[in-house]
């Protein structure tokens, strides 16, 4: 499904994505000569030509240079005064995707299309990991197919996997961490890998800290829940105290700290190599209590929705709404119905709490670093989607007829989405 969707949509994507693909493509085009772009750097002529000649999907181009003038026009005639805004990211996503795209480039394909096709690998990896999550939760195949198809048809998959996008690894990061939470809770190996993926995931994109926090909280709640419901000669207080210093909890807390420190290290490097001021994206606004409250209810219901506000065709938009409904129903439903002390209960509570808390935390963190606030896009919660869908999968598995209906509806919706873009 991942390879078919990407293979169908990429050739249809004539204009570049409005979700920052202009600066992402510029980053990719400068590798290997310059594998890291610095704060204040200007975009190159190739990316500027793509922006003007291909157009920015869904955005009416302001008066400016023509296609013939794009490569030589002054920077002042381009958005953000010609500066890049991709300097906030480590080179990890760009270098990895560039390397994976080289066989297609060697075959004669341009880097813009070749890197877009690599989205199939990122999405395919996410789906395989999500399938492993569902297997670990004993989810029937019909539910697995239905939810998987729904995810592939959604705007989240479309925008992150058929264009050059730093969101591309987010679903895979979230699915991997969810799988490791399940493995650790069942006494299997996975603690070191949880820490490694937490750090690497955040270095791919800082917003993936949401999935790290969700997984860490799930492990903490599971350890405490097991201590409270367990038997033994010691009292509950002692059991809880031991749980709080157990290896899973120490791993969970240490992973969050390590991920934050890794991102802090990148910020230090970014500051040291800066050649100028950051690009002004025109998104700054005052930080208010109302703004923080809005961010707290954004991700659970919005992570699957169209991040562009409705550019997609009707079918993909419908898939996004259904993913949103499934996420809300799955998380809240499992919180209410799962057994006390179970990993399902811990995962669902962690998903609910993290989805509410992570928005304000990210806003405050960004405000401290950049000294301004902007409304967070719902796609910043994408790394939590695998956990949301895992909760839904467990809940929906309780009715075979519902599972069959979900499989049929999800598959038909995915097939229909191939005709929509």
Token code pair at residue 9? 């949509």
Per-residue pLDDT, averaged over 105-110, amounts to 95
The whole-number pLDDT of residue 288 equals 79
Beta strands in 175-327 (DSSP E): none
Q: Mean pLDDT score of the chain, rounded to an integer?
A: 92
pLDDT band at 343 (very low <50, low <70, confident <90, very high): very high
pLDDT band at 370 (very low <50, low <70, confident <90, very high): low
pLDDT of 373 higher than 90: no
In a domain, 338, yes or no: yes
**Which residues does 170 contact at the CB level (< 8 Å), separation at least 6?**
160, 204, 205, 207, 208, 211, 382, 383
In a domain, 221, yes or no: yes
108-122, 261-275, 371-385: lowest mean pLDDT where?
A: 371-385
In a domain, 72, yes or no: no
In a domain, 345, yes or no: yes
In a domain, 65, yes or no: no
pLDDT of 230 higher than 80: no
Listed in sequence order, the DSSP H helices in 137-246 are 141-153, 155-161, 170-185, 191-204, 209-229, 236-244
Q: CA 182, 362, 310, 160 torsion: positive or negative?
A: negative
pLDDT band at 280 (very low <50, low <70, confident <90, very high): confident
Residues spanned by the domain of 10: 2-41+83-279+288-417
The whole-number pLDDT of residue 365 equals 78
74-83, 277-286, 289-298, 351-360: lowest mean pLDDT where?
A: 277-286
In a domain, 66, yes or no: no
pLDDT band at 385 (very low <50, low <70, confident <90, very high): very high
pLDDT of 232 higher than 90: no
**Which residues does 226 contact at the CB level (< 8 Å), separation at least 6?**
243, 341
pLDDT of 231 higher than 70: no
Per-residue pLDDT, averaged over 47-53, amounts to 93
Per-residue pLDDT, averaged over 241-268, amounts to 94
Q: How many domains does the chain have?
A: 1
pLDDT band at 282 (very low <50, low <70, confident <90, very high): confident
pLDDT of 310 higher than 80: no
Name which residue leads in pLDDT, 305 or 196. 196
pLDDT band at 374 (very low <50, low <70, confident <90, very high): confident
In a domain, 46, yes or no: no
In a domain, 59, yes or no: no
Over pLDDT 90: what percentage of the chain?
Answer: 71
Per-residue pLDDT, averaged over 398-403, amounts to 90
């Amino acid at each position: 499904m991942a390879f078919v969707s990407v293979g169908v949509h990429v050739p249809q994507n004539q204009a570049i994505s409005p979700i920052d693909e202009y600066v992402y493509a510029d980053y990719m085009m400068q590798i290997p000569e310059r594998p890291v772009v610095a704060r204040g750097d200007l975009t190159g002529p190739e990316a500027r030509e793509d922006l003007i000649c291909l157009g920015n999907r869904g955005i009416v181009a302001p008066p400016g240079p023509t296609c013939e003038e794009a490569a030589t026009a002054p920077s002042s005639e381009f958005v953000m005064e010609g500066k890049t805004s991709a300097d906030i990211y480590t080179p990890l996503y760009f270098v990895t995707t560039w390397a994976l795209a080289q066989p297609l480039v060697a075959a004669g394909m341009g880097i813009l299309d070749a890197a877009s096709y690599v989205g199939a690998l990122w999405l395919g990896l996410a789906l395989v990991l999500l399938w492993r999550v569902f297997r670990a939760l004993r989810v029937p195949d019909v539910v697995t197919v239905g939810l998987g198809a729904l995810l592939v048809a959604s705007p989240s998959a479309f925008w992150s996997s058929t264009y050059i996008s730093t969101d591309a690894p987010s679903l895979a990061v979230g699915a991997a961490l969810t799988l490791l939470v399940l493995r650790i809770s069942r006494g299997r190996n996975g603690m070191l890998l949880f820490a490694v993926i937490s750090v690497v995931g955040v270095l791919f994109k800082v917003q993936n800290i949401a999935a790290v926090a969700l997984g860490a909280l799930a492990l903490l709640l599971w350890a405490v829940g097991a201590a409270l419901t367990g038997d033994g000669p010691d009292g509950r207080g002692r059991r809880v105290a031991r749980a709080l210093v157990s290896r899973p909890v120490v791993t969970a807390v240490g992973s969050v700290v390590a991920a934050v420190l890794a991102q802090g290290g990148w910020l230090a490097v970014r500051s040291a190599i800066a050649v100028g001021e950051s690009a002004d994206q025109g998104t700054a606004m005052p930080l208010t209590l109302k703004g923080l409250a809005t961010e707290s209810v954004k991700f659970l219901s919005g992570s699957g929705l169209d991040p562009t506000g409705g550019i997609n065709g009707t079918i993909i938009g419908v898939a996004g709404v259904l993913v949103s409904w499934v996420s809300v129903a799955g998380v809240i439903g499992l919180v209410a119905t799962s057994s006390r002390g179970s990993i399902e209960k811990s995962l669902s509570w962690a998903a609910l709490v993290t989805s509410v808390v992570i928005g304000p935390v990210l806003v405050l963190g960004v405000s401290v670093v950049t000294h301004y606030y902007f409304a967070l896009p719902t796609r910043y919660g994408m790394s939590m989607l695998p956990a949301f869908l895992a909760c839904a999968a467990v809940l929906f598995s309780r009715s075979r007829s519902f599972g069959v209906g979900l499989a049929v509806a999800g598959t038909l919706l995915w097939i229909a989405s191939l005709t929509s873009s």
